[in-house]
Amino acid sequence: MENLTVDDMTANGTSAQRNHTLGVWTDFTLEYKVVSVFLVSLICGVGIVGNMMVILVVLTTKHMRTPTNCYLVSLAAADLMVLTAAGLPNITDALCGQWVFGYAGCLGITYLQYLGINASSCSITAFTVERYIAICHPIKAQFLCTLSRAKRIILLVWTLTSAYCVMWLFLSDTETVAYDNAELLRCAYKVSRSQYLPIYFTDFTVFYALPLVLATVLYGLIARILFLNPLPSDPKRSTKKWRKETSRSGRMMCAGSSCSTTAASRRQVTKMLAVVVILFALLWMPYRTLVVVNSFLDKAYLDTWFLLFCRLCIYLNSAINPIIYNAMSQKFRTAFKKLCHCGPQRMEKPASYSVALTYSVIKEMSNGESHDHFATEMEDELNTPTTKFLPASVLPSAKKMSLDEPSLSGPGVKV
């Protein structure tokens, strides 16, 4: 993909234009500078603060440390990298009209922006697959969707993307562009346009097209489970037949309104993550489309305002995720509020009886195998104890399980 911090004319023409006279240079208009600096500063400022808050609330709150939230921390770290390495340098570019960070800055910033972009795409793919396994294959999820495995996957994602992006350290370079009235320093690419296009299309396929196709298929399968075959919500209905059917299909068995509450929570979490994926697709589409179209044009379309719009969409994609979490996840919303208060406040205790019942049921189904995968269930809508939904015969075992299993305020508790 094109470098998000350089002049797109030099990015498309690359070094072929080095030291060639390009006519009279004109600076950006005052209107463009004001709008560009204001919007980029606003979006990047909000995004940096929001993503730092996501990382802090997950790392400092024990019951927020779930596999899904680990992937969200990885995504937040990648978005921070995009905002600082791609967004902030555009402010100086708009104000100064040229590259001001030198040769080392050109290599380092280019590397970091591609690393952030690719790592964010891989993090989205990872939590999409995790949600699919947790909801559509809950028995397998006990062994596949654990906190330790999530950490290993995240480490692998960052290791591979870091190694893949090393090539940009050899493809990036500074160049002096000569105009009739000025000479400007740019951060551009060493290779010609014809050599660069295969690299771009590889990035486009691996880190944009394929993740979106995979996400579309997996969220379709998830929707079939959560929305077309919902868990029963009427506690007075006979659940004997339903239990038998769900037992055969490998889905969780539970009773009455507790199933309804758990299903509602799962739907809410899935909706939130689906929104993240949809916005990723939509906000990256203008820039991706522009570069693809320019690849087949003799004279690239480089309207200044449209380029600004495309870049702002990218920065907005990296900044908006914490806002989505705050709007759609009560757990994140509560954690954000407590973090902003900056005081030693007592965190709300998760709904222990609902979790204990879930542990008890899944343990029975899996013949006592590991139940660590239930850290993937983010019980966002459980604000009050669900004891009133549990049959009297279940309460003793639920209470016993809450004593035998790991602490309900620890990493094993769902968010």
CATH number of 295's domain: 1.20.1070.10
Q: What's the confidence (pLDDT) of residue 63?
A: 86
Q: Do 337 and 366 belong to one domain?
A: no
Examine the fold and report which residue of 320, 341, 362 is the final residue of a domain before the chain moves on: 341
Q: Where among 317, 341, 365 does a domain terminate?
A: 341
Decide if 3 is inside a domain: no
Together in a domain, 169 and 225: yes
Count CA atoms closer than 13 A to 353's CA, side-chain side: 20
Asked if 334 and 366 sit in the same domain, the reply is: no
Instruction: Identify whether residues 370 and 331 lie together within a single domain.
Output: no
Residues 221 and 282 grouped into a single domain: yes
> Residue 179 is inside which H or E element, if any?
none
Between 357 and 281, residue with greater pLDDT: 281
What is the tally of structural domains in the chain?
2
Give the span between the Cα atoms of 125 and 148, in whole angstroms: 18
Q: How many helices (H) and strands (E) does the chain have?
A: 16, 2
In-domain check, residue 223: yes
State percent of the chain over pLDDT 90: 43
Same domain, 286 and 395: no
Task: Please report whether residue 415 resides in a domain.
Answer: no
Q: Are 320 and 362 within one domain?
A: no
Q: Which domain holds residue 283?
A: 8-233+261-341
DSSP letters for 31-67: HHHHHHHHHHHHHHHHHHHHHHHHHHHHHH-GGG--H
What is the distance in angstroms between the CA of the first residue and the CA of the last residue of the chain? 36
Residues 190 and 58 in one domain: yes
Are 93 and 308 in contact by the 8 Å Cβ rule? The answer is: no
pLDDT of 364-394, one tens digit each? 334 433 444 444 444 443 333 334 444 444 4
Last residue of a domain, one of 295, 316, 341: 341
Q: Is 230 exposed, middle or buried (0-12, 13-18, 19+ CB in 10 A)?
A: middle
Q: How far is CA 186 from the centre of its chain?
A: 31
Q: What is the pLDDT of residues 170-220, one digit of tens each?
A: 999 998 888 887 888 999 888 877 778 888 888 999 999 999 999 999 999
Residue-wise pLDDT tens digits, 64-86: 889 999 999 999 999 999 999 99
| 39 occurs within a structural domain | yes
Within a domain: residue 318?
Answer: yes
Asked if residue 239 is part of any domain, the answer here is: no
Say whether both 44 and 110 belong to one domain: yes
Per-residue pLDDT of 125-165, as tens digits, reads 999 999 999 889 988 888 888 999 999 999 999 999 999 99
Which range has the worst mean pLDDT, 32-46, 237-251, 315-329?
237-251
Q: Tens digit of pLDDT for each residue in 11-43? A: 444 443 444 456 778 888 899 999 999 999 999
Q: Do residues 226 and 366 both lie within one domain?
A: no
β-bridge partners, 187: 174
In a domain, 139, yes or no: yes
Indicate the pLDDT class of residue 262, thresholds 50, 70 and 90.
low
398/271 same-domain check: no
Pair (287, 384) in one structural domain: no
Of 226, 208, 231, 324, whose CA–CA distance to 270 is shortest?
226
